[in-house]
C-alpha cells in the first residue's frame, strides 16, 4: 500500500515546475538539483507527463519543460493516477472481471470505502493548493 517513487517524484516535479515558473523552460537538470533526484530517472518520469500533455517540452539548448496549464487545473489524483496507474486498493474496483466473487464478497465493501476515501483526498487537492502550502512553509521558516 505504498505510493512509489514514480508518483511521489512526479508530484514534486510538477510542483517544482509550478513554483519556479517564469514562462521560460525549466530543465530537468535544474529540477533534479533542486529536488535531489537522479536527473536520468526524472527524465523518464517527465516523459510520461509530456506524453499525457501535462507539460510542454522545448528541445535544444535553453530548452526544458513548462506546465501546459495553470496549477489549479492539476489535481494530485490526476498526477498520481497517470504515473502510478490506478489508485484503487484492489483490482476488482477497476475491473469487475478481476474476480467472480463480488456477489458473495463482503470485503468488497471495505475496498469500495477505501477507494472512495482515497479519491476524496487526491481529487480535492490541486497544485495551486500545494503552492500555497509551500509558500506558507517558507514564510514560517523565515520568521
Give the residues lining the site for a copy of itself (CB under 8 A): 1-3, 8, 11-12, 15, 36, 76, 84, 86-91, 101, 103-107, 109-111, 113-114, 117-118, 120-122, 125, 130-131, 133-134, 137-138, 141
Nearest residue (CB) to DNA, 102 versus 136: 102
**Any idea what the Cα angle at residue 16 is, between residues 13 and 18, rounded to 5°?**
115
Nearest residue (CB) to a copy of itself, 62 versus 104: 104
Nearest residue (CB) to DNA, 5 versus 115: 5
Q: Which of a copy of itself, DNA, none sits in contact with 10, Cβ below 5 to 8 A by type?
A: none
CA–CA gap between residue 16 and residue 125 (Å, rounded): 16
**Partners of residue 26 on adjacent β-strands:** 65
Q: Write 29-33 long-range contacts (CB < 8 A, 24+).
A: 30/64
**Residue range at the interface with DNA (CB under 7 A); choices 14-22, 33-41, 105-113, 133-141:** 33-41
Asked whether 50 and 65 are in contact (CB, 8 A), the reply is yes
Locate 43 and state its grid cell.
527524465
Q: How far is the CB of 11 from a copy of itself (least distance, A)?
A: 5
Amino acid at each position: 500500500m505504498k505510493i512509489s517513487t514514480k508518483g511521489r517524484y512526479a508530484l514534486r516535479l510538477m510542483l517544482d515546475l509550478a513554483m519556479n515558473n517564469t514562462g521560460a523552460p525549466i530543465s530537468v537538470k535544474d529540477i533534479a538539483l533542486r529536488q535531489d533526484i537522479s536527473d536520468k530517472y526524472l527524465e523518464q518520469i517527465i516523459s510520461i507527463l509530456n506524453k499525457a500533455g501535462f507539460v510542454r517540452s522545448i528541445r535544444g539548448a535553453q530548452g526544458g519543460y513548462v506546465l501546459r496549464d495553470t496549477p489549479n487545473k492539476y489535481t494530485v489524483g490526476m498526477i498520481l493516477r497517470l504515473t502510478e496507474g490506478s489508485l484503487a486498493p484492489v483490482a476488482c474496483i477497476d475491473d469487475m472481471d478481476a474476480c467472480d466473487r463480488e456477489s458473495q464478497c463482503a470485503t468488497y465493501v471495505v475496498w469500495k470505502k477505501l477507494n472512495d476515501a482515497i479519491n476524496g483526498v487526491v481529487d480535492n487537492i490541486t497544485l495551486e493548493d500545494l503552492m500555497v502550502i509551500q509558500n506558507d512553509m517558507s514564510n514560517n521558516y523565515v520568521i
